[in-house]
């Protein structure tokens, strides 16, 4: 692909934003934590941190799956977990004075419940330390385990997200064989069957070769299982070995798809080249309440 278009160039942080980011990094270092905002080099980190939102990665940095759009190392952690991680995350949330927290993780097929117990422990620790904080759990599919979902839901996150990532046609070639388009839909549907008042959320990357009609079909599939919040963003290969970028999607196309998504009934939509799963996440509850 040619050089990135102008609309994908990120403005430099202001002095105030840079100072704020240093403060956050210092706090995270004290607690032995990192955020997805750092690991993914998210272009919106300064904006989100300034608004009191951050995304924490749980359960280590080795994923048991290998998706072609992701640069997270693949391996077998052999059941290893950090039992103190929920408490450290809760302490960091309190120290940083966050108002909205997104918790996510690598896939952990080596664990009996896929890591749902640790997710739940982190949510409950945060609620105990900072009861005013809203929590979004951006979960893996837990291999479709109903028991794992129930365990996670019992900790009462405010929003549960699970990313379908791409359209049906491209899914088998881009996602790990254990990640299935229909299983993702079933997970999102099951969340609402267990907890009808929970807001569910999903995300799509664009620029991988999907057609517009396929994106619309995926939106309809998500709405058919009750998903109300959606993000759409530009795929950018994280490494040379990752799936290649097929095209840059113009901001006008993102804007058009956002209108389509709202017409389909999504109450929260973020759609744009620099949008990532957790962008403006704190607005989800306000937009989808009532």
Residue 277 has what pLDDT? 86
Residue 256 — left, alpha, or beta (φ > 0 → left; ψ -120 to 50 → alpha)?
alpha
pLDDT at 178 over 50: yes
Whether residue 47 is predicted with pLDDT greater than 80 in this model: the reply is no
Is residue 117 a part of any domain in this protein?
yes
> Do the beta carbons of residue 115 and residue 140 sit within 8 Å?
yes
Band (43; pLDDT cuts 50, 70, 90): low
- Is position 41 within any domain? yes
Instruction: Tell me, yes or no, whether 1 lies in a domain.
Output: no
Residue 65 lies in a domain: yes
Q: What is the pLDDT of residue 21?
A: 67
The band of 40, judged by pLDDT with boundaries at 50, 70 and 90, is very low
- Provide the mean pLDDT of the chain: 90
More confident residue, 95 or 219: 219
Residue 66, domain member (yes or no)? yes
> What is the DSSP-derived secondary structure letter of residue 244?
P
Q: For the purposes of burial, counting CB atoms within 10 Å of the CB of 78, is it exposed (0-12), middle (13-18) or buried (19 or more)? A: exposed
* Any domain includes 212: yes
Residue 241 in domain: yes
**Percent share of the chain, pLDDT over 90:** 72
> Taking the CB of residue 256, how many other CB atoms lie within 10 A of it?
13
User: How many domains does the chain divide into?
Assistant: 1
Q: What is the pLDDT of residues 184-213, one digit of tens each?
A: 999 999 999 999 999 999 999 999 999 999
Q: Which domain covers residue 125, as residue numbers?
A: 6-288
Residues 22-51, mean pLDDT to the nearest whole number: 63
Residue with tokens 């942080």: 13
Which positions ≥6 away from 87 have C-beta within 8 Å? 125
* CATH number for position 55: 3.20.20.70
CB 159 within 8 A of CB 136: yes
Residues 6+ apart with CB under 8 A from 7: 250, 251, 273
pLDDT greater than 70 at residue 123: yes
For 51-70, how does the pLDDT look when each residue is reduced to its tens digit (9 = 90+)?
Answer: 557 889 899 989 999 999 98
Pairing of strands 134-138, 53-58: unpaired
Residue 160 lies in a domain: yes
pLDDT above 50 (res 2): yes
Q: Residue 277: which of 225, 218, 201 has the closest Cα?
A: 201
């Amino acid at each position: 692909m040619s050089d990135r278009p102008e609309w994908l160039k990120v403005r430099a942080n202001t002095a105030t934003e840079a100072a704020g980011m240093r403060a956050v990094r210092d706090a995270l270092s004290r607690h032995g934590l990192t955020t997805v905002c750092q690991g993914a080099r998210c272009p919106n980190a300064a904006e989100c941190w300034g608004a009191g939102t951050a995304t924490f990665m749980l359960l280590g940095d080795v994923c048991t799956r290998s998706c072609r759009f992701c640069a997270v190392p693949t391996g077998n952690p052999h059941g290893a977990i950090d039992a103190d991680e929920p408490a450290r995350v809760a302490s960091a949330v309190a120290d940083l004075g966050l108002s909205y927290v997104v918790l996510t993780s690598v896939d952990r097929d080596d664990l009996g419940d896929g890591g749902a117990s640790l997710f739940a422990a982190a949510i409950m620790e945060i609620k105990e330390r900072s009861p005013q904080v809203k929590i979004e759990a951006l979960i893996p599919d837990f291999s479709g385990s109903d028991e794992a979902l129930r365990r996670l839901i019992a900790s009462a996150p405010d929003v549960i997200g699970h990313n379908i990532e791409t359209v049906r046609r491209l899914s088998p070639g881009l996602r790990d064989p254990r990640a299935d388009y229909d299983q993702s839909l079933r997970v999102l549907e099951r969340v609402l069957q267990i907890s009808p008042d929970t807001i569910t959320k999903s995300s799509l990357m664009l620029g991988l070769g999907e057609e517009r009609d396929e994106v619309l079909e995926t939106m309809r599939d998500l709405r058919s299982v009750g998903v109300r919040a959606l993000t759409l963003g530009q795929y950018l290969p994280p490494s040379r070995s990752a799936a290649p970028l097929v095209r840059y999607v113009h901001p006008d196309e993102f804007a058009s798809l956002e209108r389509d998504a709202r017409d389909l009934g999504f109450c929260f939509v973020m759609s744009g080249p620099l949008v990532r799963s957790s962008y403006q996440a704190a607005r989800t509850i306000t937009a989808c309440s009532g």
